[in-house]
Amino acid sequence: MARPMNRHTATIGKTRSCPHCRATILESAAVCPACRHHLRFESRKDAQVEPAGQVALKVAGKVSRLVTDGPGEYVVVVVIRDARGAELARKVIGVGGLAAGDERQVELTVEIFDPQAAS
Please report, as a single letter, which amino acid is at residue 49.
V
| Cα–Cα distance, 2 to 21 (Å, whole number) | 39
Predicted model pTM? 0.65
Nearest C-alpha neighbor of 104 from the set 56, 72, 78: 72
57 within 8 A of 111, measured Cβ to Cβ: no
CA distance 81 to 69: 34
- What gap in Å lies between CA 59 and CA 8, rounded to an integer? 30
Domain ranges of the chain: 7-118
- What would the pLDDT profile of 19-69 be if each residue is shown by its tens digit? 999 888 888 888 888 888 888 766 545 444 445 678 899 999 999 999 999
